Structure formats: C-alpha cells, structure tokens
Amino acid sequence: MRALPLAAFALAATVSAHAFAQEQSVEPSAREAQKATCQQEANLIYRTGSKGIGMGEDTRNQIIAARRAHVRDCMAKKAASAPG
C-alpha cells in the first residue's frame, strides 16, 4: 500500500523535472540570441567559397581571428545601444 503513494510521488517529480528542463531550454537568452546573430553576420562577411579546403593554415587563422573580432565588436555595439 505504501508503494502506490511513493510511485505517484516519483512520477510527479519526474514529470515536473522534465517540464522544468524544457522551460529552461525553450528560449535562449537575449545575449545568446545577439551573439548568434553576430556570428551569422561574421560568417557571411568572412565566408570562403572552398569551406577551408586547400586553404593555408595562416589564412584560415586570419579568417577565424577576423570573425571573432567582428563578433566581439558587434556584441559591444549591441551592448552600448541596448536600453537600460
């Protein structure tokens, strides 16, 4: 007889934990959304037709550094222009 309330409690805890985890992962934070937008913009600006195939290591590193710098600058501009 004690097993029924215990099983019901365990089921309720599992369901509520699952629902809580879904709520946490449904909507990214504003900062994550801004960063994703900045990364997409950087990838469009500094894109390569070959997807890096046959590209020299130094050229690849320069493109990666330029993309990171663009994301950093973009995030700083968005933070400065954000109301608050």
Instruction: Assess whether pLDDT exceeds 90 at residue 70.
Output: yes
Confidence of residue 79 (pLDDT cuts 50, 70, 90): confident
Q: Among the residues of 27-56, which ranges form H helices?
A: 30-45
Task: Please check the confidence at residue 60 and state whether its pLDDT lies above 70.
Answer: yes
State mean pLDDT over 44-70.
85
The DSSP letter of residue 12 is H
Distance CA 46, CA 70 (A): 9
